[in-house]
Amino acid sequence: MILIITIISMIALGWLVWITVQRQEAGDEAFQAKLDRDDQRARDGRAGRRVNPGDDPGD
């Protein structure tokens, strides 16, 4: 019985965290721009170009 309660509690906690993160992302107007910059840095790194995270003051 404790195992079932533990599993249900973990699912509920995960759902609450997911909802909280979704609300924060929706409220952050610059979030997509941050993701796009991160994706570009990753592409540059895979292409062998020098990646300097300090170059981006938006972080």
Q: How does residue 53 score in pLDDT terms, banded at 50, 70 and 90?
A: low
Task: Please state, in angstroms and rounded to a whole number, the distance separating the CA atoms of residues 55 and 2.
Answer: 51
Q: Residue 54 has what pLDDT? A: 61
Domain locations along the chain: 2-51
SS3 55: helix
Q: Do 49 and 55 contact (CB within 8 A), yes or no?
A: no
What stretches of the chain show up as alpha helix (H) in DSSP? 2-27, 31-46
SS3 48: coil
pLDDT exceeds 70 at position 57: no
Q: Do 12 and 4 contact (CB within 8 A), yes or no?
A: no
